[in-house]
Amino acid sequence: MSEPAAETPVEAYLALEAASTPGHARHEFWDGRIRAMGGASMRHNQLVLGIGSELRTKLSNGPCRALVSDMRVRLSAHRYVYPDVVVACPPEVDAQQRPETLTNPRVVFEVLSPSTAAVDRGDKLEAYRAIESLTDYVIVDPDRETFDHYARNADGSWLLRTLSRQDSLQFAGLDVALMLDRVFD
């Protein structure tokens, strides 16, 4: 990811994104820095598709929706990201922005890659956990075939469980169990 030396106002970032051709370059915005999003490996894409497909099927009869990769999420007034998979119940978007921006993520999945692992486990983890609507943050490690599941407890604290492909992943308040071996197949 490339970063300019000088900080950019959020308005300039939003204008850049609005002018981008759909399906082309995406950029995240983090406290005045624009980060270009690079392409992903085949394994990364297969995992995102597997997670998104399983969630789409399991959520089809309710108000929640699973969205993948191109759904921008506002973390704060100065932070915008594109998670690999996000669930919202029901999705609320800021339609004034182009592309539309999701404002109420409930479950977020980030699939690790060598270039994003430190940010996904560090800055993004802390920023996502500060969002009131978020109940679950899941970091998928394709090399170890594990899921680090951060779940918000009723008292606001967070519990971390590391799951392997033999486990199932359940989410607070959602009648959904994700069989992890199906995601990896």
pLDDT digits (tens, 9 = 90+) for 127-165: 999 999 999 999 999 999 999 999 999 999 999 999 999
* Count of C-beta atoms within a 10 Å radius of residue 94: 12
Identify the bridge partners of residue 146 per DSSP, sorted by sequence position: 141, 164
CATH class of 41-184: alpha beta
Instruction: Give the C-alpha distances (Å, rounded to integers) separating 85 from 53, 155, 161.
Output: 10, 26, 19
Say which residue, 51 or 113, is predicted with more confidence.
Answer: 51
Q: How many helices (H) and strands (E) does the chain have?
A: 5, 14
Say which residue, 39 or 17, is predicted with more confidence.
Answer: 17
Write out pLDDT tens, residues 67-126.
997 899 999 989 999 999 999 998 878 767 777 899 999 999 999 888 778 788 888 889
Residue 22: predicted pLDDT: 61
Going from N- to C-terminal start, the domains of the chain cover 41-184
Residue 29: predicted pLDDT: 83
Residue 104: predicted pLDDT: 95
Average pLDDT over residues 162-171: 94
Q: Closest by alpha carbon to 86, among 36, 41, 124?
A: 124
Residue 5 has pLDDT above 70, yes or no: no
The pTM score is 0.86
